[in-house]
Structure 1
Amino acid sequence: MELIEVVEQWAWIGWLVLILVFLVIEMLTLDFTFLMLSIGGLAGLVTDLLGAPIWLQVIIAAGVAAALVLLLRPPLLRRLRRGEDPTPSNVDALIGLGGTVVSSVGAHGGQVKLANGDVWTARSEAGDLEPGARVRVSRIDGATAIVRSDSPDPLTPAPEDPLA
């Protein structure tokens, strides 16, 4: 028996294994990509059961998978993510948040009290900031807020903040 004949005779097992592998990966990623690939594999399996040669099975499977990934996956993802809350959370919610310097903030450290009431270790983007100065969070680096002055003159403290 030739190798090609053996491959064509047992191709249905290969298609089943491929479909199952894609489905397991899809369960882990939940991104619809591998679901579309497994449906393409199903199309390859069906063409194998109908007696098509292996080259045609692969072309049909690839075509179906590509069409599904390009045409069906985007609307499915939009529908899936339609109910998501767009409000930033965790560290993303701190970016742009205002606050007040509690202890002098420089390039190597200090502390700020943010508008949400949290006290954070902070570093200044530029220059030193004295206690009472208004600041805004530029980014978070680990557990340190990188802040910039929120007032025209970084050395001039802002009026008393009721949250401070």
Structure 2
Amino acid sequence: MFEDYGWLAWLGVAIALGAIEAATVDFVFAMLAGGALGGSVAAALGAPFPLQVVVALVVSGVLLGVARPWAKSRFGARPEGITMGTASYIGRSAFVTETVTQHGGRVKVGGETWSAKSSDPEPHEPGDEVRVVRIDGATAVVTRVPTLGTSDAP
């Protein structure tokens, strides 16, 4: 049975390895799936099973040695200056929705409402613009945004 449809068995192995790669995202199983596709092509061309295995191993080895390092550097690197998670909120502008004191309050940052506390001694009233200076757990620590006074204007 597998003599005529060996390519289909290799294709099934490639699909299974692709599914595992989707769960792990480490580019190892994708390279092994590429090797299985190589074995599938060899089977479709009528190669005997031992040669199919050799083709699958060689293709997998080349992909693991060449394509995987390139893929990891290409897709794993973040451009400089790009922050993720709570660090991306630091320095952003926020608007007070509930009075913010050194003990609590609420602000809206980037469309999300956060619990907040002030690093300044005076409270910030609803509608005030503030700046996020750090994140403590799930609380944004904010400070007043400096405004230009009449004496600072040109």
Q: TM-score, normalised by structure 2?
A: 0.51
Structure 2 counterpart of 1:65, from 54, 60, 67: 60
RMSD: 5.1
Residue 122 (str. 1) matches residue 122 (str. 2): no
Q: CA deviation at 1:38?
A: 2.8
* Aligned AA (1:137): R
Q: Secondary structure of 1:136's match?
A: strand
Which residue of structure 2 lines up, in the alignment, with residue 146 of structure 1? 140
* Aligned AA (1:122): S
For 1:95-138, what per-residue CA distance to the aligned partner results, in whole angstroms no more than 9, with x for missing partners? 355879852132xx313587x8x8954345xx996416986222
Which residue of structure 2 lines up, in the alignment, with residue 161 of structure 1? 146
Q: Secondary structure of 1:161's match?
A: coil
Which residue of structure 1 lines up, in the alignment, with residue 8 of structure 2? 13
Which residue of structure 2 lines up, in the alignment, with residue 154 of structure 1? none
**Distance change in 2, residues 1:100/1:130 (3 Å):** farther
**Distance change in 2, residues 1:52/1:113 (3 Å):** closer
**Distance change in 2, residues 1:43/1:65 (3 Å):** same
Q: Note if contact 2:106-2:114 (Cα within 8 Å) is conserved in structure 1.
A: yes
Residue 110 (str. 1) matches residue 105 (str. 2): yes
C-alpha separation in 2, matches of 1:105 and 1:45: 66
**Number of residue pairs aligned between Structure 1 and Structure 2:** 139
**Distance change in 2, residues 1:93/1:9 (3 Å):** same
* Aligned AA (2:115): A
Which residue of structure 2 lines up, in the alignment, with residue 87 of structure 1? 82
Which residue of structure 1 lines up, in the alignment, with residue 38 of structure 2? 43
Q: CA deviation at 1:41?
A: 0.8
C-alpha separation in 2, matches of 1:147 and 1:16: 55
Q: Note if contact 2:91-2:131 (Cα within 8 Å) is conserved in structure 1.
A: no
Q: TM-score, normalised by structure 1?
A: 0.49
* Aligned AA (2:9): G
**Distance change in 2, residues 1:90/1:76 (3 Å):** closer
Which residue of structure 1 lines up, in the alignment, with residue 152 of structure 2? none
C-alpha separation in 2, matches of 1:162 and 1:113: 19
